[in-house]
A and B are shown apart, each in its own frame.
Chain A
């Protein structure tokens, strides 16, 4: 059913696109801030000390695949295939949660990073007293450590929050699809399909933001010296 609007376009969908357009400014500013303070940290750890490109490539892949399962869920509900819809939507949630797991792991690793320091003659560090030539000491990255930590955690933290909101949103749609029993499963209303459409737009947006973060913050951030 066509909504009676001046544009002929659904208001909720227009609002979602407006929100995504404005969210570009939000993330654009955070990414620019990261780049401005890139290389300005006076104390470590620095990006090359903590980033693990292979790990982040895998988590990037996971998020890209979640976008695929999201669009397949969208495709399924438009064909009226409720079973396939639920399977793909749950897969999306699972992949999104996996991405968040990677991010939690990454943050934890950064905060507990260590570095190896050579023992100086006469050092009182227990490892050195025991005869070792090197010892490990804390070299963790937190938002308070340096400009890199501040800008990195602010940027990726807000992205992670967006993903978290997305996972909760998608899970609620899965739950919603069970309300009304068999009747609701047979009859897909425009409203339901639109709800999925909006959540999908949000989810894909979170994905494209990460595409940029992965390239600019991680690949360019470490690869370009």
Chain B
């Protein structure tokens, strides 16, 4: 034992040294705990925590793991792995641009913080409730038609996507007219009320086979901010919304009377060529896709042309696209946004909700159609 290379030096620390190291470790942890409760700039906090943990780290590997006394080859093998790990971590964070935000989280990201459009389409805000305090149905109706009070600024609300009788005409998700009756037939063994509640709380739990039921579009992030009470309000409202209309034929899932052709007739006359083709694709469903297809203007606004309120405003996109993603030209950025919508979500752009525009929406577009759309969007200066 005594003559093994690891212990040949005879300079092994005594138990007293080990206890001193332990005391130092404990004190450093206590300092970390204390600093945590001090009001200090982020950069100071990060520096202090990293330095203190580095000292603790070094103490343990030098004394407890004997790297101070052992063969330098062991140190090399371990420190090599450690340096590689730190380099990989820093590279990963640099790729995802978190290093800047970790140090200056409150400052907007200069390169990506451009807000599209000189006059962003006004976002409807939470209106002062006009409902009586005990009128649950009325409150549920307001929640259906407006931004929920509990939600973040990027929040979506139900009527943007769903149609409901005479009061809402969203054409993106399933029509909810008669859901109180039809809901009971959707999932075996589940009442309409249970089905509605599950669909709000876990939108992806069960997808019905009705028109306008695009998989993965309504994610948990859309409804995650709702409180239990708000969910109750919505369920009660939806259960009541059709209960009064028993005269209607209940079982058929009524398709919203939104005719895509209407949208194109409202639009200004196309300028001709590729741009015109792009505009037509923007305003109406592409001819080569199925009945569940969504088209751009349902969610995106372009001043004077379209007024979608769900995704970012594209009024000025031709001018700002080049500044969205460093090292990416306007055209490259638009092609990427169309081909891989989840790939890059710009910071500071209104209604740029991560994960909402999924690959499923755009995957059927041909290369020619993407070219036409890019040409049209680049013309939006």
Interface residues of A (CB under 8 A from B): 1-2, 7-10, 13-14, 17-18, 20-25, 27-29, 31-33, 35-36, 38-40, 42-44, 53-54, 57, 60-61, 64-65, 67-68, 70-72, 75, 78, 117, 119-125, 128, 135, 137-138, 146, 188, 190, 193, 197, 200-201, 204-205, 207-208, 211-212, 214-216, 219-220, 222-225
Contacts and interface: CB of A to CB of B under 8 A. Distances in A.
Nearest to A9: B71
A42 B221 contact: yes
B50 A215 contact: yes
B133 A22 contact: no
B9 to A, nearest CB: 13
A167 B201 CA distance: 41
B135 A122 contact: yes
A29 B136 contact: no
Interface residues of B, number: 76
Given A35-B93, A117-B229, A215-B53, A205 B80 contact: no
A35 B25 contact: no
Between B5, B50, B79, B355, the greatest number of chain A beta carbons within 10 A of the residue's beta carbon is seen for B5
Contacts of A38: 98, 102
B128 interface: no
Contact of A65 (B7, B22, B45, B46): B22
B224 interface: yes
A78 B12 CA distance: 10
B342 interface: no
A220 B61 CA distance: 23
Main secondary structure of the interface of A (DSSP, over half): helix
B112 interface: no
A224 B7 CA distance: 44
B227 interface: yes
B25 to A, nearest CB: 5
Contacts of B77: 14, 17-18, 21
B12 A31 contact: no
Contacts of A43: 220-221, 224-225
B86 to A, nearest CB: 6
Given A29-B92, A211-B56, A225 B64 contact: no
Contacts of B3: 1-2
A60 B56 CA distance: 12
A217 to B, nearest CB: 11
Interface of B: 1, 3-7, 12, 14-15, 18-19, 21-22, 25-26, 29, 32-33, 36, 42, 45-46, 49-50, 52-53, 56-57, 60-61, 63-65, 71, 73-74, 77-82, 84-86, 88-90, 92-93, 96, 98, 101-102, 105, 131-136, 139, 152, 220-221, 224-225, 227-229, 232-233, 236, 353-355
B53 A117 contact: no
A20 B81 contact: yes
A25 B88 contact: yes
Nearest to A76: B15
Contacts of B96: 36
Given A1-B3, A42-B224, A57-B29, A223 B45 contact: yes
Given A124-B232, A220-B49, A208 B22 contact: no
A42 B354 contact: yes
Nearest to B139: A122
Q: Closest 9 A-B residue pairs measured CB to CB?
A: A21-B81, A43-B224, A121-B133, A28-B85, A68-B22, A215-B53, A32-B89, A42-B221, A24-B85
Contact of A39 (B45, B81, B105): B105
Given A21-B77, A65-B26, A214-B29, 17 more contacts: A9-B73, A21-B81, A28-B88, A32-B93, A38-B98, A39-B105, A67-B60, A68-B21, A72-B19, A122-B134, A124-B236, A146-B224, A190-B1, A204-B64, A208-B56, A208-B61, A219-B45
A25 B85 contact: yes
